[in-house]
Amino acid sequence: MVGSIALPDEFSSSLKHALKVVTSAEHVRIVSHYDADGLAAASIISGALARAKKRYHLTISRSLDNAMIESLAKEGNEAILFLDMGSGQIDGLETLDAKVAALDHHKPIRKSRKVVQANPHFFGIDGMGEACASSLSLLTAIMLDPCNWDLSPIAIAGIIGDRQHMGGMKGVNQQILDYAREKGFVETQKGLNLKGASVADSIADSVDPYFIGLSGRRENVLAFLESIRLNPDTPIGALDELYRRKLTSMLSLRLMGQGCRPETVEELVTEIHWIPTMSLSAADLADLLNACGRMEHEGLGVALCLGDKEALEIAGELRRDYNRRILERLMAIESDGVNHMNHIQYFEAPDPSLAGAQCGLAMQYILDQSKPTLALSRVKGSVRVSSRGTKHLVSKGLDLSAALKKASEGVGGSGGGHAVAAGATIPEGREQEFLNAADELVALQLR
């Protein structure tokens, strides 16, 4: 048990060990990932350590590579805590001359005697759907002091940011949500999964869900709303029951028509977890964090979580800007299409910071649902690969983490991640070889 959360004993004791690495040091070095989950996890741990008057130094990183590990080694840290990363780089972490812990939910390579890995995979908990870095960070913060339960809305945003809420909250995540609701840290109700001031804005600016023919095309949205006799200026929260249903069924039909999986269509009506202290929903917070990370304002994301009002305003502007860029990229995919191999589909993503999101949204809303999608972007002589599948494909045997790891290592690169979403880096010029290998590996998995 941690707080009121039931956990396997070995899992709680690994969290306890991780906490001990942190509390036993004078000064803690923290490294976390730049996505919404990583930023939420970093905010929770920072908030808890600040309360405990503990000194720490936080860095948000895009990846944990050898260069990063070498530079950490030179700092001479007493204790290092990795968040949302670490289990995939266990050899590197073991070379560090410090007490090291990782709160990570990515597929671990192996156990370690030297590094504390509080990773749900070791304890029979699904790290892809039941617990992410921000849920692990919240559990650790609560172990430090139960007053840190008030940081639970940030964890819920992190869970949503990692899309672990899809198909309903599960496992540790569900337990966190239940307790947070019970204590009033969040208020949950059902609603349309659209953001924005008016109905017209919220459809025209929507990237998730992305409506083919409507997203990014305001004149089409106005014609569509006219066809169901709905005033485009109606605030989304002020829709009456009749119109809410009408709009929901029309938009659901559109998503079905563009080939989305049923579980995607169902997400159109979703649980909205309102955070009263921040006057926004957890999904909104996740979205803002995502924008902060992608637009290279990671510090702003942490400040926003910890209640900085000015940060909230700036993050809102960043999000509008980010959304516009994503929207443009998705519209480009919609009109230009992608390259098809037998078992995978891929495209070139000109902006590496948008590649992952572009790949995930295109997979979910635009492209062939029977093949995982890869996005290739060029960064300083190497090619960065993002990939996304669907839960359905994973249930049929798809494991992008394994496929990208093997295909990239075969051309002198490296890769890994989750079954449904993975990444790799390969040397420039070896793309075709890599794609052929990935195509073959996916074929074997889905056979």
**Residue ranges binding Mn ion (CB under 5 A):** 37, 84, 132-133, 162
339-340 and 345-348 beta bridge pairing: antiparallel
64 in Cβ contact with 86 (< 8 Å): yes
- Based on CB atoms, which residue is closest to Mn ion, 47 or 120? 120
Nearest approach in angstroms of CB 167 to Mn ion is 17
Nearest approach in angstroms of CB 106 to Mn ion is 7
- Based on CB atoms, which residue is closest to Mn ion, 162 or 431? 162
Which residue has the closest beta carbon to Mn ion?
A: 37
Nearest approach in angstroms of CB 36 to Mn ion is 8
Contacts of 233 (CB under 8 A, 6+ apart): 198, 199, 200
- Based on CB atoms, which residue is closest to Mn ion, 84 or 439? 84
DSSP characters for 40-83? HHHHHHHHHHHHTT-EEEEEEES---HHHHHHHHHHT-SEEEEE
Nearest approach in angstroms of CB 333 to Mn ion is 25
CA distance 422 to 131: 17
- Based on CB atoms, which residue is closest to Mn ion, 191 or 423? 423
Nearest approach in angstroms of CB 132 to Mn ion is 5
Counting beta carbons within 10 angstroms of the beta carbon of residue 73, is it exposed (0 to 12), middle (13 to 18) or buried (19 or more)? middle
Nearest approach in angstroms of CB 263 to Mn ion is 20
Beta bridge partners of 417: 422
- Based on CB atoms, which residue is closest to Mn ion, 200 or 289? 289
Cβ neighbours around 330 below 10 Å, total: 23
- Based on CB atoms, which residue is closest to Mn ion, 120 or 191? 120
Cβ neighbours around 286 below 10 Å, total: 27
CA distance 84 to 177: 20
273 in Cβ contact with 186 (< 8 Å): yes
Nearest approach in angstroms of CB 286 to Mn ion is 12
How many Cα atoms occupy the beta-carbon half-sphere of 108 within 13 Å? 24
- Based on CB atoms, which residue is closest to Mn ion, 173 or 373? 173
Contacts of 384 (CB under 8 A, 6+ apart): 352, 355, 376, 377, 378, 423, 424, 425
Nearest approach in angstroms of CB 281 to Mn ion is 20
- Based on CB atoms, which residue is closest to Mn ion, 289 or 304? 289
- Chain-centre distance for alpha carbon 2: 24
